[in-house]
Amino acid sequence: MGTDFYMNTEGRKGVLSWILSTDHKRIGLLYLYAVLGFFLIGVIIGLLMRLELMAPGRTIVNARAYDSLFTLHGIIMIFFFIIPGVPSSLGNFFLPLQIGARDVAFPRLNLLSWWLYVIAGLTAISTIFLPGGPPDTGWTLYPPYSIKTPTNVSGTALAAFIVGFSSILTGLNFITTIHRLRAPGMTWFRMPLFTWTLYSTAWVQVLATPVLAITLLLLILERAFGTGFFDPAKGGDPLMFEHLFWIYSHPAVYVMILPAMGIISEIVPTFSRKTVFGYKAIVFSGLSIATLGYVVWGHHMFTSGMSDVSSMVFSFITFAVAVPSGIKVFNWIATMYKGSVEIKPPLLYAFAFIFLFSIGGLTGLVNSAVATNVHIHGTFFIVAHFHYTMFGGAGFAFFTGLHYRLPKMTGRMYNFRASTVACIVLFIGFNILYFPMFLLGWQGMPRRYYDYPPEFHGNNFISTIGSWILAAGLLIMFINLARSLFKGEKAGNNPWDGTTLEWQVSSPPPQENFEKIPHITRGPYSREKNIL
């Protein structure tokens, strides 16, 4: 075993050995820290929003400040946490390890995309301090309001524009890496499922993100020069923005959820000590989700004034996407059949994921049916639904992935009891926080509401209490994980008895990943291991 990658500083000192490094493992960790930093900011803003909504009328801030809070919460959580989250941090670290490569195809491009991400993040945060103040449009940036408001919408759009390039570069890098750098013998169907979802995701990043870039550019031009693309008085059309925005932003949902599914697809077999059930079904369902995901964007627009026929078509295709998502869930569960299941923290988090994501996915069917959508669109029902999919889904999968892979990244193990407690507290807090929002939405409370009539008070109050429980869970979880970095016991090379390649190198992995590039002779979850 060579020295681990923390030892090799490539001749640079201190922080420079990180922010100038082209090692995919270091970049993965850089992303991890940055992503968690933005997550923390997003959480604090979210807690403030819940505090404001605890009672009707003004509670802590005024209407404009509240509008900025939910806008920043959305922008930060979506563009700087969930979209880059899993692929850029865990993906960067583990993709080359999983396919038996020494690094990604373009290491310097990889570093550039991290830098773009950081610059974009700072740009987004800077809007708070620049004249005009933070944006107050909601993360959807719908014109004409986003053109009329004097707040810093252009700065925000610029930030999303830059982070888009970071995302495209990561996508390009991963696609090339997977095509060109797989170890000899690793055929497409011997590829681990996490790698497969990174592959599907990368294509979505490369193909859909340019649409967002163009849309944001048009918005900036419209604000700066009054070009009138979205202004009916000048022959433009506000609906065009909605179409363009969702042509990116719906596929982006799959950028968030596919890698999450990839994480779960590996954990269930590992902790059942058997191969995954329906490997090919999981692969093809992932690919078809990524493909169908491009043509469902109109489901965000059933009440926008779009034609009824469009609504029908978009509703139909949206329902179709539910089928492959279901296939994945069924295969995960079937994987445990006749296995030898040991519920360690990663599996516990995966179970929480499956339950919460199922609620998110199934309530998505209420949104997809046109008749019911007309009632719940633009209400708290939507807020509840996407927090169940994006936080209960993608977010919990990210936590799952962290518990599974952090011991490999740091070489140290966290405390099991604390992480089990954290998982239970998170799960309870999550449901108390978000479930009342389904009820509020069905009662008719619109989203992005600063103030509300008294009939909505009860559920809002309960929801705010839930936000504190959830925050406590996050605190326990992160303290436990952070503590493991310093005080954790040595994890060993393969604490979970995993079968994919990354578990066959030392923890933390050596600088070059593999002394000798392995030769692959088995499927990824076969219990007989490859010989390194």
Q: In the window 96-115, what residues touch Cu ion (CB under 5 A)? A: none
The single residue among 50, 250, 385, 387 that binds Cu ion, judged by CB under 5 A, is 250
- Quote the least distance from Cβ 530 to other proteins, whole Å: 17
- In angstroms, give the least distance from the CB of 451 to other proteins: 5
Q: How many residues bind Cu ion (CB under 5 A)?
A: 1
Min dist CB 243 to other proteins, Å, is: 13
Q: Which residue's entry shows tokens 């009328």?
A: 57
H-helix or E-strand spanning residue 279: helix 279-292
State the helix-helix crossing angle for 153-180 and 92-99, rounded to 10 degrees: 10
Backbone phi, psi, residue 50, to 5°: -65, -35
Asked if 385 is part of the footprint of Cu ion (rule: CB under 5 A), the reply reads no
Q: Which CB, 3 or 303, lies closer to other proteins? A: 303
- C-alpha span between 138 and 330 (Å, rounded): 36
**CA 223 to CA 153: how far, in whole Å?**
9
Q: Are strands 489-490 and 412-413 parallel, antiparallel or unpaired?
A: antiparallel
* Closest residue to Cu ion using C-beta atoms: 250
- Name the residue nearer to Cu ion (CB basis): 26 or 250: 250
Strand ranges in 11-155 using DSSP code E only, listed in sequence order = none
Of residues 447 and 457, the one with the C-beta less far from other proteins: 447
Our CB check for other proteins shows the closer of 114 and 254 to be 254
Residue 131's binding partner, choosing from other proteins, Cu ion, none, with beta-carbon cut-off 5 to 8 A by kind?
none
- Which sign does the torsion angle of CA 388, 390, 391, 395 carry? positive
Q: Which does 18 bind (CB under 5 to 8 A by kind): other proteins, Cu ion, none?
A: none
Look at residue 145 and give the partner it binds from Cu ion, other proteins, none, a contact being a CB closer than 5 to 8 Å depending on partner kind.
other proteins
Shortest gap between Cβ of 443 and other proteins (angstroms)? 7
Query: Is 351 exposed, middle or buried (CB count within 10 Å of its CB: 0-12, 13-18, 19+)?
Result: buried
Q: Which is nearer to Cu ion, 250 or 328 (CB)?
A: 250
Q: Residue 323: which of Cu ion, other proteins, none does it interact with, CB under 5 to 8 A by kind?
A: other proteins
| C-beta closer to Cu ion: residue 81 or 245 | 245
Task: Name the minimum Å distance from CB 484 to other proteins.
Answer: 24
Of 184, 142, 183, 134, nearest to 159 by C-alpha is 134
CB of 167 vs other proteins, minimal distance in Å: 26
Q: Residue 250 binds what, of other proteins, Cu ion, none (CB under 5 to 8 Å, by partner type)? A: Cu ion
Return the one option of other proteins, Cu ion, none that residue 513 interacts with (CB less than 5 to 8 A, by type). none
Residue 99 · residue 501 · CB < 8 Å: yes
Given the complex with other proteins, which of 404 and 452 has the nearer CB atom? Answer: 452
CB closer to other proteins, 372 vs 420: 372
508, 3 Cβ separation under 8 angstroms: no
Which stretch, 10-18, 248-256, 282-290, 309-317, contacts Cu ion (CB under 5 A)? 248-256
**DSSP notation for 490-515:** E--S-TT---SGGGGS-SSPBTTS-S
- 482: CB partners within 8 A, 6+ apart: none
Burial grade of 472 (CB within 10 A; 0-12, 13-18, 19 or more)? middle
Q: Among other proteins, Cu ion, none, what does residue 495 contact (CB within 5–8 Å per kind)?
A: none
Instruction: For the CB of residue 143, give the shortest distance to other proteins in the complex, in Å.
Output: 8
Q: Is the dihedral of CA 78, 81, 82, 84 positive or negative?
A: positive
Instruction: Choose the stretch contacting Cu ion; rule: CB under 5 A; options: 243-251, 355-363, 391-399, 519-527.
Output: 243-251
Give the span between the Cα atoms of 11 and 199, in whole angstroms: 33
Q: Is the dihedral of CA 243, 394, 360, 279 positive or negative?
A: positive
Binding site for Cu ion (CB under 5 A): 250
